[in-house]
Amino acid sequence: MQQKCVFLDRDGVLNRERGDYTYRLEDFEVLPGVPEALALLKQNGYLLVVVTNQGGVAKGLYTKADVLACHQKLQNSCNHLLDALYYAPSHPAFSESLSRKPDSLMLERAIARYSIDPMQSWMVGDSERDLQAAEKVGVPTIMVGDKYEPNSYTYQVHNLWEAAQLILENDEVRKGKL
């Protein structure tokens, strides 16, 4: 049986976007409402998978260990609700990778590993490249924040809590309950 999933970008969706690379634990701040939103999605049967570009690794600004430490802090802050955390350590100026969004390999790997149904799933991101990666594999998208105008396929909300509400409303519509 295929599962439903919410794919999540990290910086700007789960933790505060600093406008610079976030890799030091003291700078890694989980946004308000994120643990509650994740818990609500989990209670409603969603797998929770983080897909994040971490090009600072390829640039030599920080290490894979720094990324993993931030991910552990995220898990600890969110009651270990995240099922998987994928990251792309490459950067186009240093190394090419199909994992790096807007390419979709991180999502494809999770879809294969966890038997995820793309049409029952969602991608929540805060950039065009997040949504482009999801669209390549047929996953509906939600834009968080106001850095970009939504395209014709995209919902736009302020934060992950609002995204979770939208996802659950759409579940009800899909089930024919509204």
CB of 114 within 8 A of CB of 3?
Answer: yes
Structure tokens at 168: 């659950």
| Residue 9 is among the residues annotated as catalytic for this protein | yes
Catalytic residue at 20? Answer: no
For residues 26, 31, 32, 35, the Cα torsion angle rounded to the nearest 10 degrees is: -100
Angle at 136 between CA 17 and CA 148, to 5 degrees: 35
Catalytic: which of 9, 66, 126, 130?
Answer: 9
Q: Of 11, 66, 126, 130, which residue is the catalytic one? A: 11
Nearest to 131 by CA among 31, 15, 13: 13
* 32 upstream amide cis, omega within 30 of 0: no
Catalytic residues: 9, 11
